[in-house]
Amino acid sequence: MPSNIEPLELHPDRLFSSDPSVVAIARKLYESIKDLPIISPHGHTDPRWFNENENFGNATELFIKPDHYVFRMLYSQGIPMTDLGVPEHGLQGDMARSKAADPEKVWQIFADNYHLYAGTPSGYWLDAVFSDVFGFTEKLCSENGQHYYQKITAALATPEFKPHALMDRFNIELIATTEGALDQLPHHRAIAGSAMAKRVITTFRPDDVVDASREDFIDNVIKLGEITDQDTTTWQGYLAAIQIRRDYFRIEGRATATDHGHPTALTADLPTAECEALFEKCRTGHSTEQEQELFRGQMLTELAGMSIKDGLVMQIHPGAHRNHNQAVFDQFGRDKGCDIPSQTEYVNALKPLLSKYGNHPDLKIILFTLDETTYSRELAPLAGHYPSLKLGPAWWFHDSPAGMLRFRQQTTETAGFYNTVGFNDDTRAFLSIPARHDVARRVDCRYLAELVANHQISESTAQTLAYQLTYGLVKKAYNLDK
C-alpha cells in the first residue's frame, strides 16, 4: 500500500451531501445546533474516570486496546490479536503484562494499516479526534506513526486531558454509563453532591441476573439475594430483589433508564405458576436453551411492569449473535469484535408485552435494531402506533453516515420525527464522543436539508426539527427534562 503523507483537514461542509443546494441549507441548519450541549444518554464509559479524574495512559491503551471496532478491522486483514496487545483470557496481572505487546509497536502496526479505515466511521472518528482534540495536521501513516504516538501520549499526561477538563471542553451536559445489576455504584455515589453528579448518571442493565444462559447466572442470582436481603430462591423474592436494585440505581446512581441486550426481542406473559416453575429451572441450572429464551422474554414483560411503577425508561437492544468466533472467544474472552448481527423479528416477539402494557401512559420503551430491514417493515409502524414505543437511533454497525441516513429515510415517513429519541453514542471511547455526536448532527441536518430542497418541509420546520433531533427529543425521551 502506498503511504504518502496526506494533509489531515476536516472540511467544514463534510457529510452535508455533494449537492450544493443541499449543502447550503444543511450548513445553516448545522450552524444553529452545532454548539448545543451533548446529551449522551446511553454509553459505556468508565464511571471511575469521572470520579477519580486521573489522566489517561498512552495512545495505544486509549485508542486501540479497548476499541473492538479498531482491532476487528486489523484482525480481518490477518494481523494476530496478540500482536495488537489484546490480552489473552485468563492471563492477569504480571503474566498478562509480560505477554503484552510493546504499545509503541502496536501503534506502528495501526499506523501502517491506517488505510484500511478509509470510508468507515472508525476512520472518520479517529481523524476527527486526531485533528480536533490533538491538533494533528497530517493524516496518520507509517512515516509519522511514532510522532503521533509520542505527541498523543504526552498530551494525555497534561491537566487539560483529565476527564473533568474534557467533559467541559466537549460541552457534555450529561453522560450515562451502564452498570450490571450487582454493581454498588461506588463512583456514582462518590460524586453525589458534587457538580459532576448532575452530569454523570448510571443505567440499570440487569442482563447478568436475567439471562440464564450465562455461565455466571446462578451465582449472580445468589449474590442478588445477598445484597438485597431477599430470598432469591423464590420467584417473588427474585422480583422483589430486582425492584430493590432498580430503586438503588435510581437513587444512588441517578438512573433514569434501564437497558436490555437480549439475543432476540421475544417477550412472554405467562401465568404466575409457570413463571415460578421456569425460574426454578433456571435458578437451579436445569433449563434448556428454549426455556432460557422464554425466561428472558418473561422478564422483559416483568421489567416493563416495574418501569410503569418506578418510571425508568426501558431500552431494548436485541439481535446480536455474541462471541460468534469460538476460537477467539476461547483465547481472548468476550467483546473482541466477534459479535455479528442476525435477523430480528419484532411484530410477533413484542406482542405479549404490548398486549399487557403497550397502551399504558406511564411506559416508555426505546427499541433498537441491528437488522435494518425492520426499520420500514416493523419498527416504524410499531412506533407510529403504540404510545409506549419510541425508536432508538441507528445502532452499532449502523452508527455511521450512510447508516444514519438510511435510518431517517426508512423510518420518518411512517413514524415521523417525534417518535424518535435523538442520538446515542453507545461508546467506551470517551475521546470520540464529540466526533460521534457531530456526525449525527451533520447527517440529520443533511437529511432535513434534502427535505427542504425537495420542498417537502419548510426551512423553518427544519430548524425546529434540527433542535429537536439534537437536544429536545433526547431530554424528553430519557426523562432528563424533569
Closest CA relative to residue 27, chosen from 406, 407, 448, 408: 448
CB of 88 to its own copies, least distance (A): 14
Q: Which is nearer to its own copies, 149 or 447 (CB)?
A: 447
Q: Give 397's DSSP letter.
A: G
Return the exposure string of 226-235: e unless at least 16 CB atoms fall within 10 Å of the residue's CB, then b.
Answer: eebebebeeb
Torsion-angle region of 171 (φ positive above 0: left; ψ -120 to 50: alpha; else: beta): left
- The answer to whether residue 195 forms part of the interface with its own copies (CB under 8 A) is no
CA gap 423, 322 in Å, rounded: 24
Q: Is 476 exposed, middle or buried (0-12, 13-18, 19+ CB in 10 A)?
A: middle
- The answer to whether residue 314 forms part of the interface with its own copies (CB under 8 A) is no
CB hemisphere CA count around 108 (13 angstroms): 8
- The answer to whether residue 311 forms part of the interface with its own copies (CB under 8 A) is no
Give the interface segment with its own copies, choosing from 187-195, 203-211, 214-222, 461-469 (CB under 8 A).
Answer: 461-469
CA gap 359, 304 in Å, rounded: 12
Q: Which is nearer to its own copies, 233 or 461 (CB)?
A: 461
The footprint of its own copies on residues 406-445 (CB under 8 A) is 409-410, 412-419
The footprint of its own copies on residues 366-405 (CB under 8 A) is 370-373, 376-378, 380-387, 389, 397-398, 400-403
In the block, residue with C-alpha cell 426523562: 479
Cα angle: 215, vertex 231, 293; to 5 degrees:
40
Among 248, 298, 450, 474, binds its own copies (CB under 8 A): 450
CB of 178 to its own copies, least distance (A): 22
CB of 106 to its own copies, least distance (A): 18
Site map 249..288 versus its own copies, x via CB under 8 A: ----------------------------------------
Among 55, 76, 171, 194, binds its own copies (CB under 8 A): 76
- The answer to whether residue 457 forms part of the interface with its own copies (CB under 8 A) is yes
- The answer to whether residue 132 forms part of the interface with its own copies (CB under 8 A) is no
CB hemisphere CA count around 38 (13 angstroms): 26
The footprint of its own copies on residues 353-372 (CB under 8 A) is 354-355, 358-359, 361, 370-372
